[in-house]
Amino acid sequence: MAKHKLNIRRPYPKQIAFFKATGKYIAYGGARGGGKSWVARVKATLLALNYAGIQILLLRRTLTELRENHTIPLLSILGDLAKYKEQSKEFVFPNGSRIKLGYCDNERDVLQYQGQAYDAIFKEEATQFTQFQFETLTESNRSSGLCEKKFYPRMYFTCNPGGVGHAWVKRLFIDRQYQNKEREEDYVFIPAKVYDNAYILANSPDYVRTLENLPPERRKAMLHGDWDIYEGQYFSEFSRAVHVGAPFDIPDHWRIYVTMDYGLDMLAAYKIAVDEENRAYVLGEIYESDCIISEASAKIKEKFGKADLYLAPPDLWNRRQESARSVADIFREEGVVLTKSSNARVNGLMAVKEWLKPFDDVDGVKRARLTIWESCKNLIRTLPAVQFDMTRPNDVAKEPHEVTHAPDALRYFCVYWTVAAKSKEAPTGTYTADMLEDWYNSDDEMKEMMVERFGRPDV
């Protein structure tokens, strides 16, 4: 019987770049139709044939996706070049190489790979995996000791914008913001779009037209690979072109607010200036984990200086049973006097969307009431990463939790009553007609905040 030969079509340039890449973490894609599954399958096959004994793990989120996207195509491609074992779901090659097919439908599933060693790990549709799943798998990405030639362990990713893992993939490969021991040189991203896929252009032109006919926001993500826009995105109003700007000198009479979301896991704090037209500019950020209160207050005073108001959520006023003091009490003792903002989630989120809503200025250029200075990298990164809650469509998802801190801090500012800057301050207690209207329409919590800031109106 004639031996089966590996017969693959000629890859196009972006796929060749993926085949040749040698970084520790290599990602490919960014848009639909870029040939992601094909390039992952072929790369895994080439590694298995060229590195005797190499141990490879190829993952999709579910078993169904795994079978349709990889098991069936690999059976066709490999023929008798490798033996497929249905029970263990692996292809075993005569040279000792192995391609193990796996899944991670939920976070617990990833634990099945702990204690194992894979020279190469492929994560197909990486944005469908959580950060916990990614980080857990890195522990298994080490030399198996079975590969006969020198091979440095690495991980390969294919991805589109969107999904539960959007934030960590975007941070590492798109925004290129690194933490702790992460090294920039370890991360390689090869963008690919449907227009790079000669096979689809020639054989499936209707698919290209389908992508081109998507609604505008989804088209930006799926056709053009825009990582700031994707399906499920809560703050779809956000646009770097509209909302991100360069620093400039702030006039002395502009009002200064500091708004914060604080817990022992994260301090997210922002300095915001408000101009004469009640437009806001986010000037600076603090985004640090594991800050005790004295450290958090010291960082705020050192980086932001004096502010007209320091805004914080109401839960910081909850008194601790062991000390009868609240977090707000301790901040005050440390020299940062907090003002209670509203914790009404949906109203607050709607307020953020209003601040972000673009409009056409007189010169025809789109602007918004809120501008974020380009130095506030974590706010710029996390605002577009927040997703809708699938069970409460007016709320945001609480996972991934890391991306919620900065938007929550911004929410406490946006829901609060801000005052446009004036060269000469209006006296406390003076209410405009608009403010009186808001007073009549406010709930008790909002009225309490207005009284604290402006006094009680004469009504």
DSSP string, 142-158: S--S--SS----EEEEE
* Percentage with pLDDT > 90 across the chain: 49
Contact present, 342 and 449 (Cβ < 8 Å): yes
CATH label of the domain that carries residue 355: 3.30.420.280
Q: What is the pTM of this model?
A: 0.62
- Report yes or no on 232 lying in a domain: no
Query: Is residue 335 located within the same domain as residue 372?
Result: yes
Cα distance between residue 224 and residue 349, in whole Å: 28
Element at 29 (helix H, strand E): strand 25-30
Q: Output the CA–CA distances (angstroms, integers) from residue 226 to 24, 50, 192, 339, in the order listed.
A: 24, 36, 12, 38
Domain assignment present for 331? yes
Residue 102 pLDDT > 90, yes or no? yes
Q: Give the pLDDT confidence score for residue 426 in this predicted structure.
A: 45
260 and 173, same structural domain?
A: no
Q: How far apart are CA 269 and CA 45, in angstroms?
A: 48
Alpha helices in 334-443 (DSSP H): 345-356, 377-382, 405-414, 433-441
Q: Give the C-alpha separation, 374 to 95, whole Å.
A: 52
**pLDDT surpasses 60 at 125:** yes
Same domain for 251 and 200: no
Q: Is the pLDDT of residue 196 over 90?
A: no
Q: Are residues 306 and 378 in the same domain?
A: yes
Could you tell me the pLDDT band of residue 39, with boundaries at 50, 70 and 90?
Answer: very high
Token pair 């090294």: residue: 183
The dihedral sign for the CA sequence 58, 39, 186, 62 = negative
Residues 264 and 143 in one domain: no
Residue span of the structural domain in which 459 resides: 431-459
- Grouping H, G, I as helix, E, B as strand and the rest as coil, residue 48 is helix
Give 452's pLDDT tier (boundaries 50, 70, 90).
low
Mean of per-residue pLDDT scores for the chain: 87
List alpha helices for 357-393, DSSP H: 377-382
* Same domain for 385 and 347: yes
Top-confidence residue, 140 or 420: 140
pLDDT of residue 2: 45
Please state the rounded mean pLDDT for residues 132-149: 93
Q: What would the mean pLDDT of 220-236 be, rounded to a whole number? A: 79
In a domain, 233, yes or no: no
227 in any annotated domain: no
pLDDT category at 218 given cuts 50, 70, 90 is confident
Omega cis (within 30) before 400: yes
Higher pLDDT, 354 or 438: 354
The C-alpha atoms of residue 260 and residue 285 are separated, in whole angstroms, by 10
Contact 34/63 with Cβ under 8 angstroms?
A: no
Helix (H, G, I), strand (E, B) or coil at 398: coil
Output the pLDDT for position 430. Answer: 65
Render pLDDT for 251-264 as a digit per residue (tens, 0 to 9). 988 999 999 999 87
* Residues 386 and 396 sit within 8 Å (Cβ to Cβ): yes
Of 222, 253, 270, the position where a domain reaches its end is 222
List the CATH number of the domain containing 123. 3.40.50.300
Question: Which of 192, 222, 252 is where one domain is finished?
Answer: 222
Number of compact structural domains in the chain: 3
Task: Looking at the structure, tell me whether residues 212 and 310 fall in a common domain.
Answer: no
* Same domain, yes or no: 153 and 257: no
d(CA 449, CA 177): 37
* 391 & 452 share domain: no
Same domain, 370 and 443: no
| Reported confidence tier of residue 223, pLDDT bands at 50, 70, 90 | confident
Task: Give the pLDDT confidence score for residue 332 in this predicted structure.
Answer: 92
Asked if residue 59 and residue 141 are part of one domain, the reply reads yes
DSSP 175: I
Least confident of 88-102, 265-279, 361-375, 414-428: 414-428
User: What torsion, rounded to 10 degrees, do the Cα atoms 247, 253, 255, 258 define?
Assistant: 60
Asked whether residue 44 is assigned to any structural domain, the reply reads yes
Mean pLDDT of 321-329: 80
CA–CA distance, 262 with 310 (Å, rounded to integer): 12
Q: Is 170 exposed, middle or buried (0-12, 13-18, 19+ CB in 10 A)?
A: buried
Q: Predicted confidence band at 1 (pLDDT cuts at 50, 70, 90)?
A: very low
